[in-house]
């Protein structure tokens, strides 16, 4: 039986986040340039987005480019940016066919104008879509986001519009780029690396972490279903004990 048949569609995570990693190693294994790995990763993005939308996941956040990735060789950064523009353009049809709304989180001011324009265009064209939100994390890092949120809060306090005693977790969340999006219940990282690499640090406080050795360009629907299946077999206790979560267990 495939994992797709084994997952319980009534208990899906509302929000899945993915650290798409391993493109470079995938290309290297084939004696190709790293950029070939990035290009091949687009298929995995399409498969994952379509599969999530089809089964009923409401939010998918993909880590596509981190703040730290700006430090890669310029040739690779340029190739990634032009791939982004090309893919957004080409995959707009996929987004429309699947009723997916595109959004972006991150320090978008760092992107070059052509990139920003294409991003804006795809966001606008898909803005009426309702089946799923696809959030692309671009030039994103959690520490950048948390620092920005802190600055916004400090400015409100300085302007006399917010009292320090009214700062709480809800308010802080509303200052993040993910405001109005529920925290991800499931975070997947491909390529066998067991780290978070500055992704959604605030939001993943209680996410289930799922690490797979599969390299991103090889990631397919069935790998996603497997991750969801494993997620559904974990006990999320949120600090409580088993008996409180499932009173039938003695
Ligand atoms: C993920 O693959 C894509 C980006 C970070 C942009 P990598 O490029 O990090 O691939 P590896 O980890 O070097 O194999
Ligand atoms: C994390 O992958 C960022 C993205 C997937 C966009 P990296 O490959 O950049 O992370 P590290 O450097 O291995 O931690
Ligand atoms: Mg990597």
Q: What percent of the chain has pLDDT over 70?
A: 99
Grade residue 247 by pLDDT with cuts at 50, 70 and 90: confident
Q: Which ligand 1 atom minimizes the distance to the CA of 22?
A: 14
The ligand 2 atom nearest the CA atom of 63: 6
If you measure from the C-alpha of residue 161 to the centroid of ligand 1, how many angstroms do you get, rounded to a whole number? 43
For 34-93, the pLDDT digits (tens) are 999 999 999 999 999 999 999 999 999 999 999 999 999 999 999 999 999 999 999 999
**pLDDT digit string, tens, across residues 208-229:** 999 999 999 999 999 999 999 9
Asked if residue 149 is part of any domain, the answer here is: no
Entry pTM = 0.98
Q: Which-ligand-closest: CA of 34? A: 1
Tell me what the mean pLDDT of segment 10-29 comes to.
Answer: 98
91 assigned to some structural domain: yes
Burial 200-226 (b: 16+ CB within 10 A, else e): bebbbeebbebbbebbbbbbebebbbb
Whether 243 is covered by a domain: the verdict is no
Q: CB of 22 within 8 A of CB of 215?
A: yes
Ligand 2 lined by 36 (C-beta under 6 Å): no
Domain for residue 5, yes or no? no
Q: Is residue 148 part of a domain?
A: no
What's the number of domains the chain is made of? 1
| Residue 20 Cβ < 6 Å to ligand 2 | yes
Give the structural domain span for 190: 13-140+183-234
Q: How confident is the model at residue 248 (pLDDT cuts 50, 70, 90)?
A: confident
For residue 165, being part of any structural domain is answered with: no
Please indicate, yes or no, if residue 146 is contained in any of the structural domains: no
Q: Per-residue b/e over 72-103, b at no fewer than 16 CB within 10 Å? A: beeeeeebbbebbbebbeebbeebeebebbbb
Does residue 250 surpass a pLDDT of 70? no
Instruction: Determine if ligand 2 sits within 6 Å of the CB of residue 198.
Output: no
For the record, the structure tokens of 142 come out as: 């959690």
Answer yes or no: is 247 within a domain.
Answer: no
What's the CATH code of the domain at 89? 3.40.1180.10
């Amino acid at each position: 039986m495939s994992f797709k048949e084994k997952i319980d569609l009534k208990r899906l995570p509302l929000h899945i986040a993915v650290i798409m990693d391993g493109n470079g190693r995938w290309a290297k294994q084939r004696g190709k340039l790293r950029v070939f790995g990035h290009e091949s990763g687009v298929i995995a993005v399409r498969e994952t987005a379509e599969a999530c939308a089809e089964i009923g996941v409401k939010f998918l956040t993909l880590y596509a480019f981190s703040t730290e990735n700006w430090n890669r060789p310029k040739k690779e950064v340029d190739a990634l940016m032009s791939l982004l523009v090309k893919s957004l353009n080409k995959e707009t049809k996929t987004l429309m066919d699947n009723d997916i709304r595109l959004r972006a989180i991150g320090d978008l001011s760092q992107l070059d104008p052509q990139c920003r324009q294409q991003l804006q265009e795809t966001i606008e064209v898909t803005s009426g879509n309702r089946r799923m939100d696809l959030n692309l994390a671009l030039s994103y890092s959690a520490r950048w986001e948390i620092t920005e949120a802190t600055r916004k809060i400090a400015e409100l306090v300085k302007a006399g519009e917010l009292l320090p005693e009214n700062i709480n977790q809800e308010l802080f969340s509303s200052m993040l780029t993910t405001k109005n999006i529920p925290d991800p219940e499931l975070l997947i990282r491909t390529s066998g690396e067991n780290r978070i690499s500055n992704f959604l640090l605030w939001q993943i406080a209680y996410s289930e972490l799922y690490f797979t050795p599969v390299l991103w360009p090889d990631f397919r629907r069935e790998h996603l279903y497997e991750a969801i299946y494993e997620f559904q077999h974990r006990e999320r206790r949120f600090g409580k004990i088993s008996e409180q979560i499932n009173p039938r267990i003695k």
